[in-house]
Amino acid sequence: MSNYEDRVLKLIMMSDIHLFPKGEIRKGLDTAGRFAEAIGDANRLYSDADLCVFAGDIADSAEPEAYEQFDQLRVGLPVPQRVMMGNHDDRNVYLASAESPMTDENGFVQGFEDIKGHRILMLDTSEPDMHIRYSVLCEKRLKWVGERLAEAKALGLKVILLLHHNPCAFQMPVDTYRLSEPDRLMKVLKESGAQIIQILAGHCHITTAGSWGGYPCATIKGNQHSVEPYFRGRTEQQACYSSPAQFAVIVSDTVNCAVHFHDYLNNATMMDPSLFPNKANQLFEEVDRDYPFVASEN
């Protein structure tokens, strides 16, 4: 690749789409219409992305018709796509009709992509036979993660880890159904020695940024309702909101990794552009063509 812009990874992650069979609306939210807005914004603003990952809870109740509608709505996005599972999904139902799904050698809906000095590692934390709020990374999946991380280290790739269930505790009630036994995954990550520059999840319907065991960790609101922060000491019911609806755009040159939160549905009003004349024709940072810290291609 000849210039800095061509060497920068641009990764879209959408989550918690919660589609129903066509024509159904639940809790007053048309999740299909909202998802169509997300695809429209991705097409309009990020059609040059390297990859778009749908990180689980594709369907609300794992109906085959919901997965069919999902495929119909995303067909116009010209970006390479990968699909993951969440706790509202059923792996067996999804795989019964999916065309060319991402699966590993054990049949789990997980995989990886090596792009521009990065390994994007996408995990399957769902378990169709368990309670809807339960998640798991079994020994087979953990072994697979360890092997993929070892490869990334050997290749000198920076790792971006995507999963549906948030591993980080938020000190909120959602912690009772975050990733089950997160210490088991943490042990695999630490032992691998791989350079993990970002972990990103959905599931919890809230935007967060922080760290988990020293690893940068963030979550996004997703396509359905969002929730307010709700900490110990609160007694009233936690509030839920119809907006924003949100997906993430990760931009990384292997040294600088930024997670941007794109609200495609938001009640905010755009201000008069004339109030901010300096925002017109802004310049980007000058970056040397031979930016020394960008990993060479393997």
pLDDT tens string for the chain (298 positions)?
A: 458 888 999 999 999 999 999 999 999 999 999 999 999 999 999 999 999 999 999 999 999 999 999 999 999 899 999 999 999 999 999 999 999 999 999 999 999 999 999 999 999 999 876 555 568 899 999 999 999 999 999 999 999 999 999 999 999 999 999 999 999 999 999 999 999 999 999 999 999 999 999 999 999 999 999 999 999 999 999 999 999 999 999 999 999 999 999 999 998 899 999 999 999 989 988 887 555 554 444 3
Separation between Cα atoms, residue 159 and residue 123, nearest integer Å: 13
- Structure token pair of residue 164: 């549906």
Q: Nearest to residue 116, comparing CAs of 292, 285, 251, 215?
A: 251
Q: Is the Cβ–Cβ distance between 133 and 89 less than 8 Å?
A: no
CA dihedral 4, 193, 110, 114 (to 10 degrees): 20
Domains and CATH numbers, the chain: 9-230+238-267 (3.60.21.10)
For strands 240-241 and 226-227, give the pairing. Answer: antiparallel
Only one residue has tokens 């795989």, namely 95
Residue type, 5: E
The pLDDT, as a whole number, for residue 290 is 59
Q: Is the Cβ–Cβ distance between 75 and 42 less than 8 Å?
A: no
Q: Cα 122 to the chain's mean position, in Å?
A: 9
What global pTM score does this model have?
0.94
The pLDDT, as a whole number, for residue 289 is 56
Separation between Cα atoms, residue 249 and residue 242, nearest integer Å: 21
Helix, strand, or coil here: 139?
A: helix
The pLDDT, as a whole number, for residue 285 is 87
Please compute Rg for the chain using Cα positions. Answer: 19
Greatest Cα-to-Cα distance within the chain, rounded to the nearest angstrom:
58
Helix, strand, or coil here: 200?
A: strand
**CA 120, 67, 101 angle in degrees (round to 5)?**
40
Separation between Cα atoms, residue 36 and residue 186, nearest integer Å: 36
Q: Is the Cβ–Cβ distance between 220 and 264 less than 8 Å?
A: no
Strand partners, 196: 159
Separation between Cα atoms, residue 134 and residue 207, nearest integer Å: 21
Helix, strand, or coil here: 264?
A: strand
Residue 257, CB half-sphere, CA atoms under 13 Å: how many?
23
3-state percent breakdown (helix, strand, coil) of the chain, nearest 5: 25, 25, 50
Element housing 38 (H / E): helix 31-45
Q: Number of helices (H) and strands (E), helices first, in the chain?
A: 6, 13
Q: Nearest to residue 124, comparing CAs of 57, 214, 71, 174?
A: 57
- Residues listed for the chain: 298
